[in-house]
Amino acid sequence: MITDKGYDAKANREAARAKGSLPVIPYRSNAKNKPDFFPKKLYRLRARIEQLVGKAKRFKRLAMRCEKTAQNYASIVAIVCVFILIKSVHTA
């Protein structure tokens, strides 16, 4: 579970651990019991995910969820991901 500092609460961390996931939540600057280790590389992945979602929302059909069935929506998501991948490879 990768979130931002807004979810920095003991209850959120315990809930994530209870469900069997690793909470990757940065501590606030005024936190009292900060551990020495924080997985920064995992947290950087969060930015990549948010950038992908932002690029996907540029496609109006996906953002407004025009497709009614789950199969059609999944197809549109796949098409959008292909477009994003092609554009990123083409411009690189």
pLDDT digits (tens, 9 = 90+) for 14-68: 999 999 988 888 888 888 888 888 888 888 888 888 889 899 999 998 888 888 8
In terms of pTM, does the model score above 0.75? no
Predicted pLDDT of residue 69: 93
pLDDT digits (tens, 9 = 90+) for 60-90: 988 888 888 999 999 999 999 999 999 888 7
- Per-domain residue ranges of the chain: 1-56, 60-92
91 pLDDT more than 80: no
For residues 15 and 52, give the distance between their C-alpha atoms in angstroms, rounded to a whole number. 27
The angle that helices 70-91 and 40-56 make with each other, rounded to 10 degrees, is 110
User: To 5 degrees, how large is the angle CA 42–CA 15–CA 10?
Assistant: 80
Predicted pLDDT of residue 15: 92
